[in-house]
Amino acid sequence: MENKIIMKKGVLVAMLEGELDLNSADGYREAIDDAIMRTDAMYLVFDLSEVTFIDSSGLGMMLGRYKKIEQKGGRSAMCGIGMGLSRMIEVSGLRKLMPVYETREDAIEGV
């Protein structure tokens, strides 16, 4: 897992990949938290287009980062949710908390 976190148009974009599970969630959590602090970001986009699997650890990591940004008065969004992830995102309730966009560019503009 290589952490790909960039700032684009004032929006922190976390490009997640592979399996977002117990083995990778802590690494992403640390990297995203560090980027939030370093950049003082108010907006966060989770790009899930390269994620092949997500479990409760991955969902919890995303929820925690959502709360961190929300506490600062910011907003979060998701993009690139494929058919394989759609059900987990729906059942978890994350779709009710964060808007979902088809592309990264749409999410950056919409958040």
Chain segment 90-110, per-residue pLDDT in tens: 999 999 999 999 999 999 999
> What letters, b where the CB count within 10 A reaches 16 and e where it falls short, cover 64-88?
ebbebbeeeebbbbbbbbeeebeeb
- Domain with 55 in it: 4-110
Q: Which of 36, 12, 30, 34 is nearest to 107 (CA)?
A: 12
Q: Which of 81, 87, 5 is nearest to 50 (CA)?
A: 81
pLDDT digits (tens, 9 = 90+) for 40-58: 899 999 999 999 999 999 9
Angle between helices 83-92 and 56-71 in degrees, nearest 10: 60
Q: How many domains does the chain fold into?
A: 1
Quick one: pLDDT band at residue 63, thresholds 50, 70, 90? Answer: very high
Q: Which helix (H) or strand (E) holds 23?
A: helix 22-39
* Contact by Cβ (8 Å): 20, 61: yes
